[in-house]
Amino acid sequence: MTTYGVIIGQANPSFFEFNIADPGVRPVNYEYVQIGLEEQLPDGSKKNVDVLGQVKGIHSRHPFYDQRTTPGAVWKQRELGVGEEMLQILATVKVLGYVHEEAGRREIRRPRSPPLPGTPVSRASDDLLREFLSLEERELPLRVGHLLHRVGVEVPISGKELHRHTAILAMTRYGKSYFAGRVMEELLRQGATILTIDAHGDYANMTQDPGGLLHDFFRDKVTVYRPESAERFEAPHARPLGLSVSGCSFAELSALARISGSLQTILLARAIRKARKENPVYTLDDVIEKLEEDMPEKAEGQERVARIVMRLEDLRRRGIFSEGDVNIREFFRPQHMSDIFLSGMSDYVQDVVVGMLLRRVFDTKFRKEPWARLPIFVFVEEAHRFAAPPEEGGGKFSRDILARIAAEGAKFGVFLTVISQRPRRIDPDILANCSNLAILRVVNRQDQLTIQAASESFSEDLLDDLPALEQGEAVLVGPYVPVPVMIRTATRETRHGGRTPDIYGLLKEAKEEAESRKKDEELLY
Amino acid sequence: MSHVRDLFFDEFYEELERVAGGIELEEERPSEPSILTGEVRGCWRPYIPDTGEREEALVSVDGGVQLSRFAYGGFVTVGRALALIHRPGEDRTLEKSVKIHVQEVYDDRDRGIIPGYVRMIAEYRAARAAAERVLEDGLRPLVLLDGSLYLGRFPYATREYTHHPGLLAELFDSISGLRLLARERGFPVAAVAKDSAVFYLHMRLLRDLVRRAGLRPVAQEVEDASTPLDLRVRAERLRPEDRAALSPFIERRPLCDTALVKVSTTTEGYTRPLLLAPSIYFGRGDAPVLYERIRRSLPRDPVEGVVSSLRRFFSCPGVAVTYWKPAPRSRPFRIDVAAHALGHPEPWGEEKGNRFVEEDADHGPLRRVLDHLGHWFCNDVEYNIPLRQADTLARFDRDLYAHKYEPFIIHRLEQAGLDITGTRRALREVDS
């Protein structure tokens, strides 16, 4: 085992500092280290434990090269030699804890005693790290990545703990969707039922391997549901997503059609009742027909009906509703993912669709339908569009149901994962209910503070790490990991859809096409 | 910093205003150029150091000292020094030395003097060890100390010899050890003082000026005076006509050597080296008289050791001083050089007064010293990088001493049977 140095200065059970003995053998930032500690147990007995820590800061200093030294003097200093005996490299370590086993129960404990100055600090062994991070089978370990700087040490997250809801947050293009996709893959392998609100179609190709061929395992585990007004997407596993107006609550329909006057509301409610009586799966046309059938005699009443009809026709043109209705039962297939493909749809329509679908899913679980007994993992991509607070212009239809799922979903088996690049625009009530956090690179200070405010376990030092993360690197915090941990996301098994467009390739193609056209024109004239 | 509310600021401010007002009144009088400006220019040697090839291995020495005071006179001084050896083209190496002196001291003057001696002993020992190492490697060293080679305040009071004879013997031996080795092996020893404020050059030039003016009756007074202030006191005792003759040579605000060189010169260069006599000759008596006084005051046992150390010290070559300006606008540095390098290997004890080296003396060895200094000069603050490094490494921080050294000293000296009782002040400051 490599020993880096010894503890110096004041140490406490949470942090210590050590002096690196040999500058040639020094840890990098975020490296894991271990120390031996004599811990006093509650019964007064003492036990030697291996305590794991993580380097959270490393700095070097040399008395000859301080800030007051002028550039000219620095070069003269160099002429005398570097003077390595005066070089001081100090590392600050955050104590993560030690593994405690008692009566067959295994847990990570924080030491109560401070490490003693003079204690040797070594590079943590892979075995200790594995012991620290391993999860038992009943915890449903999901292998989402490996430790940062330790490729050989896998970091599983507890699938069981996802019932406490999760937030995956990062700047655009830093690997949120990739990480979420990896979690979905692992959940599917564990038999989970998943519903994905896929704003950009990032998960629509999860039936394929990264090379574009059908994946042996996932080929039949994903169904894409595409509303009529969404972007074109054709694939054997794609289905049209029909949303009948009959599945819409009266309040939702009134809001959608912007019908608010009491007389108008009465007229609309009467028309809906009549339409439903004739056909439980009625359409907007049916409602309009019923309104026109009952046209009042007075001109004033006729005008009122005409205004309602005009608004319903306007709603029809937006393409939210279609004939036929989605069978919500399909979303509860075991070991299957239902991907709601919303790419290309306006924010407004996406909001309505998401709100309606999630309300039906939640109601199903709430009513404890026997065919919906399995828990459902709901992933909401671009969550800030749907989960922003009303005063921030958040989704009128989806925000409330998301807040309800975040607050009560765990009880009924609806487990939420929100994915967003704008944490500050997500309703704080929703974010605060996400106990598990996967944070990739976040630079915006306001976003950082939002994350910290949402999670008690997100400490200041973790916050400082966020801007330094590279693409695919994440800080995991919350009950789904034994201790806050920094990982690199494992390579996905399936095709990732959230890629940056290949600008180089596309422009090259464009240039070739333009040149070919020019040649054709020259031949013509 | 004390957390007690300060009660004195109003009184302090009032007093500051009074003092500053007095200075302003004096400054209203027109300032005159120094009467010695022309004399300084006469002994100025323009020189731009050649910073290219340097043969010698540079040995840069600096030290630090800390002390502990205990109840009932207990006094411990710890000096440490470091010699940084730099052979051109190679990484530097280090030679270190520590000197601990334990004594019961009852005289405040001794408490002020002893730490300086202890530090010097450590410095000269480190310097000598480093020089020997360089010589063993077949190279020629140039030993450079921080400060001065000259004992400006020579210990001529008999009290000192009765209170700490062993320490003084060690001091003289450590200085002699380096100087005699330097003379024997022919390598230069020099020292750089950044903030010297002495009047050696000033007084030498003044004496020459008075002599040239033909003022024979007062020339001896000028010769005997050690500083312009001393001369002013002596002038008060002269007959009125002699005092009047001398008055043009008594400046209202005399400039110390470095200030005088600064205002009088405009180029890089150095002053003609001035050989310094041991400062004892500016006190009353000379070396043999001192030996007699020591013999009369000390018991037989230490006396011969001390006298023999003193004899050895006076048998060393003397010290010459020059003022060097590395750049036209920089402040002059005082450079002391062991006199053997300037063609004066004779025992120092034979020098009875300060005098310039001969006009035709070979300045080559001095210039080689200046070449080294010029090479390592960056600016007026970072004036010598090796010395700066030596200073950084050897400096003795009070906190470091109190936390890392003093506890060991107390523990070990108690073990050795010494009564180490903290002073009441030390006990009081534990809580502050």
Greater pLDDT, B226 or B317: B317
Q: Concatenate the DSSP letters of all residues of A403-421 into one string.
A: HHHHHHHHHHTEEEEEEES
Sort strands A150-158 and A414-420 into parallel, antiparallel or unpaired.
unpaired
**Cα–Cα nearest to A195, from A341, A395, A323:** A341
Residue-averaged pLDDT of chain B: 90
Phi, psi of B7 (to 5 degrees): -100, -5
Q: Concatenate the DSSP letters of all residues of B376-390 into one string.
A: T--SSSS--HHHHHH
Residue A391 has pLDDT above 90, yes or no: no
> What's residue B154's pLDDT?
87
User: Considering Cα of B193, then B197, then B198, then B199, what sign does the dihedral take?
Assistant: positive
d(CA B376, nearest CA chain A) in Å? 7
- The pLDDT tens digits for A28-55 are 888 899 999 998 887 888 899 999 999 9
CA atoms of B126 and B80, how far apart (whole Å): 9
d(CA B384, nearest CA chain A) in Å? 9
Q: Which of A123-137, A272-286, B119-133, B406-420 has the highest mean pLDDT?
A: B119-133
Please identify which residue in the block is written with the tokens 């180029």.
B267
Greater pLDDT, A141 or A519: A141
Q: What is the mean pLDDT of residues B223-228?
A: 89
The residues pairing with B141 across neighbouring beta strands, listed in sequence order, are B57
> What's residue B422's pLDDT?
73
Q: What is the mean pLDDT of residues B313-319?
A: 94
Q: What is the mean pLDDT of residues A377-392?
A: 90
- Measured between beta carbons, the chain A residues lying within 8 angstroms of B388 are 64, 73
CA atoms of A154 and A148, how far apart (whole Å): 10
Residue-averaged pLDDT of chain A: 89
Runs of H (alpha helix) within B254-299: 257-264, 287-297
Q: Do B389 and A80 touch (CB under 8 A)?
A: yes
Angle ∠(A242,A245,A250) on CA atoms, nearest 5: 145
Q: Do B386 and A82 touch (CB under 8 A)?
A: no
> What's residue B62's pLDDT?
97
Question: pLDDT band at residue B432, thresholds of 50, 70 and 90?
Answer: very low
Q: Do B389 and A77 touch (CB under 8 A)?
A: yes
Distances (CA, A) of B347 to A359, B285, B291, B312, B342: 107, 18, 17, 9, 14
Residue A352 has pLDDT above 90, yes or no: no
Contact of A5 with A21, CB cutoff 8 Å: yes
Greater pLDDT, B298 or B429: B298
**Cα–Cα nearest to A197, from A418, A524, A523:** A418
- The pLDDT tens digits for A299-340 are 888 898 999 999 999 888 877 787 777 889 999 999 999 999
Comparing CB atoms, the residue among B90, B379, B385 nearest residue A77 is: B385
Q: Do A63 and B392 touch (CB under 8 A)?
A: yes
> What's residue A525's pLDDT?
72
- The pLDDT tens digits for A408-459 are 999 999 999 999 999 899 999 999 999 999 999 888 888 888 888 877 767 7
The two tokens of residue A237 are: 């596993």
Residues 6+ apart with CB under 8 A from A510: none
- Measured between beta carbons, the chain B residues lying within 8 angstroms of A64 are 388-389, 392
> What's residue B29's pLDDT?
57
CA atoms of B20 and A295, how far apart (whole Å): 103
The residues pairing with A380 across neighbouring beta strands, listed in sequence order, are A197, A418
CA atoms of B95 and A203, how far apart (whole Å): 69
Q: How far is CA B244 from the centre of its chain?
A: 35
Greater pLDDT, B170 or A25: B170
Question: pLDDT band at residue B233, thresholds of 50, 70 and 90?
Answer: very high
3-class state of residue A302 by DSSP: helix
Contact of B313 with B172, CB cutoff 8 Å: yes
- The pLDDT tens digits for A100-129 are 888 888 888 999 999 999 999 999 999 999
Residue B250 has pLDDT above 60, yes or no: yes
- The pLDDT tens digits for A72-88 are 888 888 888 877 778 89
CA atoms of B138 and B175, how far apart (whole Å): 23
Residue A396 has pLDDT above 80, yes or no: no
Phi, psi of A415 (to 5 degrees): -110, 120
3-class state of residue B180 by DSSP: helix
Sort strands A222-227 and A238-241 into parallel, antiparallel or unpaired.
parallel
CA atoms of A428 and A455, how far apart (whole Å): 10
d(CA A61, nearest CA chain B) in Å? 14
> What's residue B384's pLDDT?
94
Q: Is A23 left (phi over 0), alpha (psi -120 to 50) or beta?
A: alpha
Comparing CB atoms, the residue among B86, B379, B382 nearest residue A80 is: B86
ipTM for the predicted complex comes to 0.75
Residue B431 has pLDDT above 60, yes or no: no
- Measured between beta carbons, the chain A residues lying within 8 angstroms of B374 are none
Residue percentage of chain B with pLDDT more than 90:
64
Contact of A202 with A498, CB cutoff 8 Å: yes
> What's residue B414's pLDDT?
87
3-class state of residue B225 by DSSP: coil
Residues 6+ apart with CB under 8 A from B201: B40, B43, B257, B260, B261, B271, B274, B321, B323
Contact of B248 with B231, CB cutoff 8 Å: no
Question: pLDDT band at residue A479, thresholds of 50, 70 and 90?
Answer: very high
Q: Which of A410-419, A495-504, B380-389, B397-406 has the lowest mean pLDDT?
A: A495-504
Q: How far is CA B231 from the centre of its chain?
A: 22
Strand locations in B361-418 (E): none
SS (H, E, C) A34-93: EEEEEEECCCCCEEEEEEEEEEEEEEEECHHHCCCCCHHHHHHHHHCCCCHHHCEEEEEE
Sort strands A46-61 and A88-102 into parallel, antiparallel or unpaired.
antiparallel
Phi, psi of A320 (to 5 degrees): -75, -45
Residue A172 has pLDDT above 90, yes or no: no
Q: What is the mean pLDDT of residues B337-342?
A: 96
> What's residue A504's pLDDT?
84
User: Considering Cα of A116, then A120, then A123, then A127, what sign does the dihedral take?
Assistant: negative
User: In terms of residues, how long is chain B?
Assistant: 432
Sort strands A376-380 and A414-420 into parallel, antiparallel or unpaired.
parallel
Contact of A354 with A316, CB cutoff 8 Å: no
Q: Do B393 and A77 touch (CB under 8 A)?
A: no
3-class state of residue B361 by DSSP: coil
User: Considering Cα of B377, then B383, then B384, then B388, what sign does the dihedral take?
Assistant: negative
Q: Is B378 on the interface with A (CB under 8 A)?
A: yes
Residue A17 has pLDDT above 90, yes or no: yes
pTM of the model: 0.70
CA atoms of A65 and A68, how far apart (whole Å): 8
Residue percentage of chain A with pLDDT more than 90:
54
- The pLDDT tens digits for B76-88 are 999 999 999 999 8
Chain A interface disruption, residue of B94, B380, B389, most A CBs within 10 A: B389
Question: pLDDT band at residue B75, thresholds of 50, 70 and 90?
Answer: very high
A contact residues 25-84, partner B, Cβ 8 Å cutoff: 63-64, 69-70, 72-73, 76-77, 79-83
Q: Which of A37-46, A189-198, A283-292 has the highest mean pLDDT?
A: A189-198
